[in-house]
Structure 1
Amino acid sequence: DGGLYFVTYPAGTGAEYNTKTGEFQRFPAEQAESMLTVGDATYFGVYPGGHIEKVVKDSTGRPQISKLFTIGEDQDRPYHMVESNGKLFIGSIPGYEKHQGALTIYDLETGEKTVEKGIVENQSVIGLAVRDNMVWGSTTVVGGLGADPIATEAKLFKYDAATGTKVGEYSLNLPGGQKPKHISALSFGPDGNLWGTTDGYVFVVNPDTMELVSEKTKNIYPEVTRYGMWRPMSYEWHEGLLYMNVASRLTVINPDTMEHRQLTPKGEEIARFAIADLAPGLVDEATGETAEGVPTETSNGLYFFGNAKSDTLRVIPMIEEVKTPVEPEKCRPGKGNGNAWGHDKGNGPNDNACKPGKGQGNGKGNGKGNGK
């Protein structure tokens, strides 16, 4: 409904920013490592304890939180959630000194829960994409606090939710040969392939063969080689473009050409972002203009928090390209005594001529041409 939810760290306070009115309202909330809206409810993955809480608005429009379920199985940080066919799919980090993360599936209608602990041995699950009951996941080698990693390479995996079986586990096989420690931001692109990021790469994988699509895999920030601990990268597909905080650098990518542009200053880490309505009265830092001064074609804003101003919600107005119609120059006919394009002096073409001149002349002023 046009609201952005966020929580504080340390825990205790949540807030909603209404992008339609520009108003805030605060409410009690614990430390949510992930959030996902399904229908009229938003689900928070809460640390510590691996709880899933449900946030809905009461009759006054105030958010109200209730506990839905606890993952269990030593899971502590529900770091990523997606929804498909009425089910929550949750990737999580284990508890203190534990190594086995999990994939959890929760049926929102029946309350049935499946926890696949250690779906990738000694790794945690931080990326998920679901299509037709098939789950594609990605991992980080890092387990819970106090647990030194055992695994040395993050993996991709496939899981058949209909049969409850893991189909396979796959290395990413980056062209540079590096072994990633953290793979995240899985999603299906408009080409039907699986997109994601690791280190400075944006990669594309054929979801059937699980092989890299080399022409769409690009090392955008090659200086980044060992990025990431737990926190998943964020992504948004919007009007044919992919927005992603590659190595925490907010970046927009053209999926057809793989051209890209970094949207925030170098050196600033962007942990989370979202695309929503551009609220009234917001100031564009680049121009100093309020939203009222932005072209009317602007309807969305790219909202984010970054470490340069960690307590400030910022927005980039998403200004659509506006093409101003170009009025054609009014042409004038030639006088018929110059070249074939109507120049009346016979020394070159007249760019504004409507049609070739009808008189004699070849454009050189000698009067011997035939007007063709």
Structure 2
Amino acid sequence: MRRKIFMLLMILPLFLSLGQTTGFAKDENYDEIVDEEIFGEEFVDGEIDEKEKKKADLIGPQVFQTSALTAATGKDDKGNSYMYFVMHGTPSALAVVDLNSNELKNTYTLSNSTSAWGLDVDKDGTVWVGGTTDGNLYSYNPNTEEFRDHGNKLTLPKDTAIQDIDAVDGVVYGSTAYGGSVFKYDSHNDELVNFGQVLYKKEFAKSLAFDEEKDTLYIGVGSKADLVKFDLKTKKKTAFLPDDYKNDKYVRDIRLIGNEIYARMDPSNRLVVFNKETLEKVDEVELNSRTVSLKSPNEDAIYFTKQNSLYKYDLTTKEQIDLQVPLLKGTEMLTLDYVELNDPNYPGYTLVGLIDNAGNVLKYNLETGFNEIVKMNLPPQPVTLYTMIQDEKRENIFINGYMSGGLAIYNTKTNQSVLHQDISQIESMTIIGDKLYIGAYPKSRVLELDLTQPWSSTNPRELMRLGDYGQERSTAITAVPKLNKVFVGTYPETSIGGGALAVYDLKENKQEVYENYIYNQSLVSFLHHDEYIYGGTSIHANYQVNERGARFFRFRPDYPEEKEYIHLPFQASMITSLIADKEGTIWGMADGTLFSYNPKTKEIRSQQILELVSGRFRNAKIIEGIDRNIYGTVEGKMFKADPKTMEVEILLEEGAYEIAQDSEGNLYFRNQADLWKYPMKE
């Protein structure tokens, strides 16, 4: 008989214990929510059906974060002002905060959405939210407190997410990824029209704005960036972004102010202004905020931030005025809106906006200049789980949260977790003795966590930061204790060529970086075994695809520049997991194929488990079990392989991602926000 390790009533105490940990180390990037794409594809776990659920035991969510993706303001019929926050989570949520009292009023679950970027408030005060991963559209009426899920509005096969919305009198216009389309939803008669892909081969319709007077949409697409005028009457499309801006990735945000179009370029931090009639560029402004405000209700001006300070931009004189209003260190405004508050400190209109993902909000009064930063008490949400490893004793499982980060340490003997929230998304981890080495995103940082010491401002400590080399993700990591060195492989996003190999000397506190280590490929798996470090690549780098297949290679830790390629008798797009068994045989996953390599005899064996894979990064993970069998997951399937015959048994048909094992042989996997246990039969 299988023994359930958690009954339903035990999940609540686990949630409370996770939320009460203290003494977090401050990772300066922990509150920077990453873009919802991973090497060109959105990271989404397939669900587990009821039949498969009966084979495993639910442990539950492990990582909870308070991460506000975006916000908007509005008011009810009585004039009460509210701020609406989209909370990242699995599922996401809409949090309603009273701006007069700064108190949380309501929280509504955005079912079927792990995040939501599209947020707009209609003229009547109704809030509209466009979500992922099914493209559901939601609304909330502050007068009736009615919350509605209007269902999935994505009709093109490639579309998985609503990127932006604009709501006018109950009609919602939306833009999408990865079909790069735009749609119109009329809530009065529940009619949906999809206008198709905006521009050929542009997968992201990142931003849009509706011009009610002209019945025209302005759409920012990528990547690479372009800006399109779409006349809804004639169906004519006009692309008008000048060539000087087409090396940007996206047009992140669009504002229509008077007779002008304000387009926020990303990542170049330029605000480009166009004449609405001629579509010619009339101005350019440098800024750091994600967006700009609309025109001030008090004067001919707009607001934005740069260099950690609030600026006013005079629309007549084009003068930029530094208002000397500092933000929190390292932050810039994510949103900017105007409200009227019932507070003597804030007469007339007040500029308000979200500063960071932690829920800090700036209030700046336009009349008096009085300002303050308020930390809103926003509700934590369970987060989709991501990278997962076990320690050497198979006692603890380390598991990271996707996008908003967080690191949970789950003890398989006590069935309890400790959560450290203040750390960003982790791309790779390895444990050597009492040290956990972490490849953190963004900026391809490498951290060292001393497991014998409490979490603090100096633990974990940062060893390297490879963002200066054009690297964003530290996707492969291993360590060589004898040499006191850590080896890291990366995925490049802004450099030319492939990923880098970085070597950090723990004794000398020095680093060496070998750029474009495998020509035009990224490094996604490392293994240290005996005298070599073995590595695997992905053909994806810099949003490009290398026509040559993934490479399996090795090098001596003392001579990283002298790599040796090991030819595999099959083609693969990525080699995502490498291990060594107790006999010294190297095992790996190449797409959907399990393979072994004997370093002594050079013999290579392989067994195909799946013919086709999605192409998504981190699609497979393998470990050696305590019974000497090879266990793994690939594209949601959990399998067991006999190392002698390579015969494969499928344990779970779907819903299993990553894998770990405890000292009793029980297997663990993740699915969405939940950790699951696959018990070994007694």
Contact 2:427-2:441 at 8 Å conserved across structures: yes
Q: Does 1:78 align with 2:474?
A: yes
Q: Per the alignment, in what secondary structure is the counterpart of residue 675 of structure 2?
A: strand
Aligned residue in 2 for 1:330: none
Q: Deviations over 1:43-99 (max 9, x none)?
A: 221111000122235766889433222235222111122222332222211124754
The structure with the larger Rg is 1
Question: Offset at 1:38?
Answer: 1.9
Q: Does 1:54 align with 2:443?
A: no
In 2, the alpha carbon distance for the partners of 1:36 and 1:19 equals 18
Question: Offset at 1:228?
Answer: 3.1
Q: Deviations over 1:233-273 (max 9, x none)?
A: 32211221111223442211110121221222x243x3322
Contact 1:126-1:232 at 8 Å conserved across structures: no
Question: Offset at 1:101?
Answer: 0.7
Aligned residue in 2 for 1:316: 678
Q: Does 1:4 align with 2:389?
A: no
Q: Per the alignment, in what secondary structure is the counterpart of residue 469 of structure 2?
A: coil
Question: Offset at 1:4?
Answer: 2.1
Q: Deviations over 1:144-188 (max 9, x none)?
A: 3xx2213331111222322333233344222xxxx3111232222
Q: Does 1:156 align with 2:552?
A: yes
Map 1:18-29 to 2 at 5 A.
Answer: 18-27=411-420, 28-29=422-423
Q: Deviations over 1:173-206 (max 9, x none)?
A: 22xxxx3111232222344332212122111234
Contact 1:142-1:230 at 8 Å conserved across structures: no
Aligned residue in 2 for 1:351: none
Change (3 A) 1:169 1:59: closer
Q: CA RMSD in A?
A: 2.7
In 2, the alpha carbon distance for the partners of 1:183 and 1:164 equals 19
Aligned residue in 2 for 1:243: 631
In 2, the alpha carbon distance for the partners of 1:136 and 1:12 equals 28
Contact 1:186-1:194 at 8 Å conserved across structures: yes
Contact 1:97-1:143 at 8 Å conserved across structures: no
Partner residue of 1:38 out of 432, 443, 459 = 432
Change (3 A) 1:96 1:229: farther
Q: Does 1:187 align with 2:579?
A: yes
Q: 236-245 or 111-120, which moves further after superposition?
A: 111-120
In 2, the alpha carbon distance for the partners of 1:73 and 1:232 equals 26
Map 1:208-357 to 2 at 5 A.
Answer: 213=604, 216-221=605-610, 223-224=611-612, 226-231=613-618, 233-238=620-625, 239-264=627-652, 266-268=653-655, 270-277=656-663, 299-306=664-671, 310-319=672-681
Question: Offset at 1:303?
Answer: 1.4
- Corresponding pairs, count: 283
TM-score norm. by structure 2 comes to: 0.39
In 1, the alpha carbon distance for the partners of 2:551 and 2:573 equals 8
In 2, the alpha carbon distance for the partners of 1:232 and 1:50 equals 20
Structure 2 unaligned blocks of 5 or more = 1-392
Identity %: 25
Q: Does 1:65 align with 2:445?
A: no
In 2, the alpha carbon distance for the partners of 1:99 and 1:258 equals 37
Map 1:96-135 to 2 at 5 A.
Answer: 96=494, 98-135=496-533
In 2, the alpha carbon distance for the partners of 1:121 and 1:131 equals 24
Q: Deviations over 1:7-52 (max 9, x none)?
A: 2122243222222322222222110111222222212211110001
Contact 1:5-1:16 at 8 Å conserved across structures: yes
In 2, the alpha carbon distance for the partners of 1:62 and 1:198 equals 39
Q: Per the alignment, in what secondary structure is the counterpart of residue 540 of structure 2?
A: coil
Change (3 A) 1:73 1:267: same
Contact 1:127-1:232 at 8 Å conserved across structures: no
In 2, the alpha carbon distance for the partners of 1:62 and 1:20 equals 25
In 1, the alpha carbon distance for the partners of 2:676 and 2:538 equals 29
TM-score norm. by structure 1 comes to: 0.68
Specify the code of the residue in structure 1 equivalent to 2:433.
Answer: G
Q: Per the alignment, in what secondary structure is the counterpart of residue 29 of structure 1?
A: coil
The higher-RCO structure (CA 8 Å, 6+ apart) is: 2
Contact 2:576-2:590 at 8 Å conserved across structures: yes
Contact 1:51-1:78 at 8 Å conserved across structures: yes
Q: Deviations over 1:300-346 (max 9, x none)?
A: 4211102xxx11111112346xxxxxxxxxxxxxxxxxxxxxxxxxx
Specify the code of the residue in structure 1 equivalent to 2:443.
Answer: G
In 2, the alpha carbon distance for the partners of 1:75 and 1:59 equals 30
Specify the code of the residue in structure 1 equivalent to 2:621.
Answer: S
Q: Deviations over 1:334-372 (max 9, x none)?
A: xxxxxxxxxxxxxxxxxxxxxxxxxxxxxxxxxxxxxxx
Q: Per the alignment, in what secondary structure is the counterpart of residue 192 of structure 1?
A: coil
Q: Deviations over 1:104-126 (max 9, x none)?
A: 22233332322222221000111
In 2, the alpha carbon distance for the partners of 1:260 and 1:202 equals 10
Aligned residue in 2 for 1:349: none
Contact 1:4-1:16 at 8 Å conserved across structures: yes
In 1, the alpha carbon distance for the partners of 2:508 and 2:680 equals 40
Change (3 A) 1:45 1:232: farther
Contact 1:122-1:141 at 8 Å conserved across structures: yes
